[in-house]
Chains A and B, each alone.
Chain A
Amino acid sequence: MSDVLLEIRNLEAFYGPVMAIRGASLEVPEGAIVTVLGANGAGKTTLLKTVSGVMDPDKGEVLLAGESIERSEPDRIVRKGVVHVPEGREVFPLLDVEENLAMGAWTRSDDGVAEDREMIFGYFPILEERLRQSAGTLSGGEQQMLAIARGLMARPKIMLLDEPSLGLSPILVGEIFSILRRLNEERGVAMLLVEQNAKAALDIADFGYVMELGRVVMDGPAKRLADNRDIREFYLGAKERSQRGERRWKRRKTWR
């Protein structure tokens, strides 16, 4: 494999007394898609938050191209080329699509911004059609596309994607994941993709990790994980999937 772009070493993170990450390590090679699978509460979101700097880890290291970035302010980390596309999309609801994209480019002052916007409309033509619409009125799929596009406006080396499939129909998931793959292949953007939807994630990933209760319990090339018996049973099983779908729907309802 090529050079390691992002490396997480023995990370530990707490919410008050609650230990959310219990010594996790993983690597994302330059230009690769790496996925982190795990059930609700495994610590996937917390892991991404410590990388993007909105949370400080208590122990361990986060290295970007060999340089330690843990405990840096989020804006410094964005400037270094790491952008976090949060769980639940988190667009700016009262700003229109154009303004949301402009906020993605907040850290930039170079003149490639307009060019990048055109490039992004090539991948997400619907956003160009909705340019003047406030983000809060977009559909779930469109908001997810906007969240990804907003992240791309920072011209990242690596995107941290937190459950981009959450609450979307299988068709939309397929559409968005194939765009992610194209972005990776054509633009060379590395991705750390956190998912509960193991099938969609393993389809586009090169390598995968499985997290449980704050620890990495399994890793391997995506193809090998997709064939693994435990993974098939716990994350890809038909029975489990319908049950999870139901739970997810319930959670969404109490959540908003």
Chain B
Amino acid sequence: MDSLQLIVSGLANGCVYGLIALGFVLIYKATEQVNFAQGDMMMLGAFTALGLANDSHLGLPFWVACIGAVVIVAAVGWLLERTVLRRVFGQSQLAVVILTIALGFVLRFVAGTIWGHDPLTLESPIAGVNVRLGGLVLGLDEIAVVLVTLLLTAALFAFFRRTKLGVAMQASSQNQLAAYYMGIPVKRIHGFTWALAGATAAVAGILFASKGSIDPNTGLLGIKAFAAAVIGGFGSLPGALAGGLVVGLIEPFAARYVASGYSQVAPYALMLVVLILRPHGILSQVHGKKV
């Protein structure tokens, strides 16, 4: 039973990593940029929901606060693309990496200024509720995390496969020039992608905050999500989720069986192994891609 418990909490953590990794992959697929502020956008989503929902702050109904946080962080993502990222578009990856790392610092600073640096807890109706399933006691928060993540991944997957806009997003990532030739508004699609990545980050943030406390440095777990995205191939949405789950599952077991101090290295060690063995990740598409 004990390791089953570990598996469930590992899965729940892995889902949060997976959702952040989805954001990495979305932006990378559409714009070939790597957004190192993705974890901080997750943190921003968590704090925005908290600021809207908690009684000590605005005290709005929980669901209203959730929708509000998703909309607000989506808007932040869109604005960042419009005002900042568009200016470095086409420049070296390094410029984008440095810029997004700096954006992460800014988001942390802003969150610290508004909400302070002490850990806070989101007043979530699913926090701390236990559900009995047979002999197993599971947290409602953990179940919700897994369900919401699966639903969101499936919805995004269907969106990319089935809708004209989703297909156009793939098209403009596969061959940007040809997309221009077809009259696809590539820049607007980039803005939309950042908004979508922001919304995904907000969902991840709300789920994360339902499982424990948050502070402005919470977003640093984006680094683990980055490892998850690499493990998943950095080009595939289901791969990102799978990578997140792998990292989430490794952690508790490494903590249990490996000397503390070394156990935290496990996700990155796995990332290195994957990079060496399969440079394109475990689930990546074969990219016959021209630049």
Q: Which residues of A contact B (CB under 8 A)?
A: 52, 54, 73-79, 83-86, 90-95, 99-100, 102-104, 106-107, 136, 150, 154, 256
Interface size class of B (residues with CB under 8 A): 20 to 34
Q: Which residue of A lies closest to B164 (CB)?
A: A102
Q: Could you say which of A75, A91, A94, A99 contacts B178, with CB atoms under 8 Å apart?
A: A91
B184 near A106 with CB under 8 A, answer yes
16 further A-B pairs in the complex, CB-CB below 8 A; given A90-B177, A93-B289: A54-B180, A54-B181, A78-B183, A79-B183, A84-B181, A92-B175, A94-B287, A95-B167, A95-B174, A99-B170, A99-B171, A102-B167, A103-B179, A103-B182, A150-B182, A256-B290
Q: Which residue of B lies closest to A100 (CB)?
A: B171
Tell me if B168 counts as interface (CB < 8 A to partner A). Answer: yes
Q: Which residue of A lies closest to B185 (CB)?
A: A75
B178 near A90 with CB under 8 A, answer yes
A154 near B183 with CB under 8 A, answer yes
Given A92-B171, A94-B170, A95-B170, the answer on whether A106 and B164 have CB atoms closer than 8 Å is yes
Given A103-B167, A106-B164, the answer on whether A93 and B174 have CB atoms closer than 8 Å is yes
B171 near A103 with CB under 8 A, answer yes
A154 to B180, CA, bound (A): 13
A256 to B183, CA, bound (A): 25
Q: 8 Å CB contacts to A: which residues of B234-264?
A: none
A106 near B288 with CB under 8 A, answer no
B167 near A75 with CB under 8 A, answer no
Q: Which residues of A contact B5 (CB under 8 A)?
A: none
| Bitwise interface map of B from 255 to 291 toward A, beta carbon under 8 Å scored 1, else 0 | 0000000000000000000000000000001011110
Q: Could you say which of A74, A91, A100 contacts B183, with CB atoms under 8 Å apart?
A: A74
Q: Which residue of A lies closest to B188 (CB)?
A: A75
A102 to B168, CA, bound (A): 9
A92 to B177, CA, bound (A): 10
A92 near B170 with CB under 8 A, answer yes
A102 to B183, CA, bound (A): 12
Q: Which residue of A lies closest to B287 (CB)?
A: A94
Q: Which residues of B contact A73 (CB under 8 A)?
A: 185
Q: Could you say which of A54, A76, A77, A93 contacts B175, with CB atoms under 8 Å apart?
A: A93
A154 near B167 with CB under 8 A, answer no
Q: Which residues of B contact A95 (CB under 8 A)?
A: 167, 170-171, 174
A103 near B184 with CB under 8 A, answer yes
A92 to B170, CA, bound (A): 9
Looking at B164, B180, B288, the one whose CB has the most chain A CB atoms below 10 A away is: B180
Q: Which residues of A contact B168 (CB under 8 A)?
A: 103, 106
Q: Which residues of B contact A107 (CB under 8 A)?
A: 182-183
Q: Which residues of B contact A104 (CB under 8 A)?
A: 182
Q: Could you say which of A52, A85, A92, A106 contacts B174, with CB atoms under 8 Å apart?
A: A92
How close is B177's CB to chain A, nearest CB, in angstroms? 6
Q: Which residues of B contact A84 (CB under 8 A)?
A: 181
A86 near B164 with CB under 8 A, answer no
Q: 8 Å CB contacts to A: which residues of B151-178?
A: 164, 167-168, 170-171, 174-175, 177-178
How close is A218's CB to chain B, nearest CB, in angstroms? 29
| Bitwise interface map of B from 77 to 110 toward A, beta carbon under 8 Å scored 1, else 0 | 0000000000000000000000000000000000
A99 to B180, CA, bound (A): 16
A154 near B178 with CB under 8 A, answer no
How close is B215's CB to chain A, nearest CB, in angstroms? 41
B182 near A78 with CB under 8 A, answer yes
* 20 CB < 8 A contacts A-B: A54-B181, A75-B183, A78-B181, A83-B181, A84-B181, A92-B178, A92-B179, A93-B288, A93-B290, A94-B174, A95-B167, A99-B167, A99-B171, A102-B167, A103-B167, A106-B182, A106-B184, A107-B183, A154-B183, A256-B290
A92 to B288, CA, bound (A): 10
